[in-house]
Amino acid sequence: MYKLLKKKNSVRRGEFHTPHGTIQTPVFMNVGTLAAIKGAVSSMDLKEIGCQVELSNTYHLHLRPGDEVVRKMGGLHKFMNWDRPILTDSGGFQVFSLAKLRQIKEEGVYFNSHIDGRRIFMGPEESMRIQSNLGSTIAMAFDECIPNPSTREYVLKSVDRTTRWLERCKIEMDRLNSLEGTVNNKQMLFGINQGGTYDDIRIEHAKTISKMNLDGYAIGGLAVGETHEEMYRIISSVVPYLPQDKPIYLMGVGLPSNILEAVERGVDFFDCVLPARNGRHGHVFTSTGKINIMNAKYELDDNPIDKGCGCPTCQHYSRAYIRHLFKAKEMLAMRLCVLHNLYFYNKLMEEIRNAIDGDYFEDYKEEKLHAWSGNV
């Protein structure tokens, strides 16, 4: 249940109540694809770096260890020892980005596993059943993530199918939640807005799915090649047509600057692999922009990655030490940088919430964008 705490222009400050605790929004979800954050970061670490919601990937967990295994282990929360909210995606995005020899039909998608090549079918019902086995707090509807660019004709056809799939998702999720023995009988379902870069198709679709009384609404199919300006324009177009009493989730976005722009346009939920992936490559966020810790100029730099940062890495280790760890190919290098970057994102969201609470979001946004000098 979403509770709007404050609204100014389109900027929203809210709370989302779930059976696994309350989420303060706007929020950034930390991506743990396979029930662990890449970079040797555990669920214990996530608590330490201020993560509110963990996000896992349905497609990956379906293949390894298998959602049946997770169900038998009591669900994802118990399996990975995380008692706060978990969102699982539908698997749709991965089916469309990772899997091979894909065939899209009305019933769903046939594809080959990217692990062992075996033929798999996934449709709305399968996605719901897998997510139900995982027992996440929030399940995402199974949709087609439309490639960019796509013709208007294809997008129209695809969005219609995604709507029919959403109806099937809702029916199946209701059925699964009513069964005895379901891991989480209060699993919530978010619908996903699609429509490529066609604002009118996006708006029509938003209107249609808004009538379906889902627990939240996502904007999908962005950050797939369009410009930032297109992305911002689409968000601005779509948000007014989504229910204002439900959280709005911008999927797979993004850079800190993208998040500020999207919060300004009314978005509540975010997720992205970028902070963890960047961290594993030694690209770390600071209050003055992103730096590459492997740069030779940090060889003797005794400072933490970011002065004033409260993360476990900056509390204990210097740029020189972390640079050395990368050069020496020590795994600890990745761990320290991923911890720092995720903390940076979680802290950014906390500051955004404080700024909205304190009525200075616009100033905060301008100040941050200026400080980062376009480098995040």
- Residue pair 333/279 in contact (Cβ under 8 Å)? The answer is no
| Residue 369 in the binding site for a copy of itself (CB under 8 A) | no
Is position 154 an interface residue for a copy of itself (rule: CB under 8 A)? no
Instruction: Please give the DSSP secondary-structure letter assigned to residue 241.
Output: G
Q: Which of 23, 29, 37, 209 binds a copy of itself (CB under 8 A)?
A: 37
Question: Could you give the CA distance from residue 199 to residue 229 in angstroms, rounded to a whole number?
Answer: 13
Question: Beta strand 11-18 with 2-8: parallel, antiparallel or unpaired?
Answer: antiparallel
Q: How far apart are CA 39 and CA 36, in angstroms?
A: 9
User: Please, which of residues 67-96 interact with a copy of itself by CB under 8 A?
Assistant: 69, 72-74, 79-81
Active site positions, annotated: 89, 271
User: Among 223, 243, 247, which Cα is nearest to 146's?
Assistant: 223
CB neighbours of residue 287 within 10 Å? 12
Considering the complex, state which of residue 82 and residue 93 has its C-beta at the smaller distance from a copy of itself: 82
The answer to whether residue 44 forms part of the interface with a copy of itself (CB under 8 A) is yes
Site residues for a copy of itself, window 163-182 (CB under 8 A)?
A: none
Query: Which stretch in 37-45, 101-109, 121-129, 265-273 sits in contact with a copy of itself by CB under 8 A?
Result: 37-45
Site string for a copy of itself, 304-333 (x = CB under 8 A): --------x---xxx-xx-xxx-xx-xxxx
Annotated ligand binding at 272? The verdict is no
Handedness of CA 28, 47, 183, 70 (dihedral sign): positive
67: Cα separation from own chain's centroid: 20
Question: What Rg, from alpha-carbon coordinates, does the chain have?
Answer: 20
Min CB(312)–a copy of itself separation in Å: 7
Q: Which residue has the tokens 């709007």?
A: 4
Amino acid at 333: A
- Residue 29 interacting with a copy of itself (CB under 8 A): no
Q: Does 336 bind a copy of itself (CB under 8 A)?
A: yes
Q: SS3 for 299? A: coil
- Residues at the binding site are 89-93, 143, 194, 221, 309, 311, 314, 340
Annotated binding site for substrate: 89-93, 143, 194, 221
Which residues make up the interface to a copy of itself (CB under 8 A)?
34-44, 60, 64-65, 69, 72-74, 79-81, 299-300, 302, 312, 316-318, 320-321, 323-325, 327-328, 330-336
